[in-house]
Amino acid sequence: MTSRTNDLSGEWDGEFSYPAGSGPVTPFLANLNQRGTSFTGFIMEPDIHLAGNAAEATIVGVIAGDAVDFTKTYRKATRGYENPVDYVGQLLDRGERITGVWSLLHMNGTFEMTRRGGAEAEEEREAEIVVER
């Protein structure tokens, strides 16, 4: 098995938490596309202001070593989603997980993202490549 590179491209499952439990733990799905040290993508999450709806956002960020920094900007911003959210995190577990903090105006909280499929899926992909050769 080879170690994972710091390429963030792919799907990620995540969740973010509000400070001191002031809001719900919110799950999200991120899809990232990295080129060099920059990446872009989108996030889908439940809209906490309009139950049953989804909030969509674009992200633009950079990676330097294991440090990850990105800004999430909501598309079709409705009330409560007008301002961009800054995220700063650390890539962990051979590139399978990112943990860190987010900040928005006077609030901040924590977040965690896990690569969809994880290490087991990566091992399976590597095994398929070896078998095909």
> Where are the chain's structural domains?
10-132
Contact 109, 14 (CB under 8 A): no
Residue 81 per-residue DSSP state? -
Give the residue-averaged pLDDT of 24-35: 95
Q: What is the model's pLDDT at position 121? A: 53
Q: What is the model's pLDDT at position 51? A: 79
How many angstroms separate the CA atoms of 62 and 36, rounded?
9
Domain 10-132 matching CATH 1.10.287.1080: the answer reads: no
pLDDT at 61 over 80: yes
pLDDT at 53 over 80: yes
Residue written as tokens 């095909």? 132
Mean pLDDT, all residues of the chain: 86
Residue 102, token pair as written in the block = 């987010």
Neighbours of 66 (CB within 10 A): 12
Instruction: Tell me the β-bridge partners of 40.
Output: 33, 60
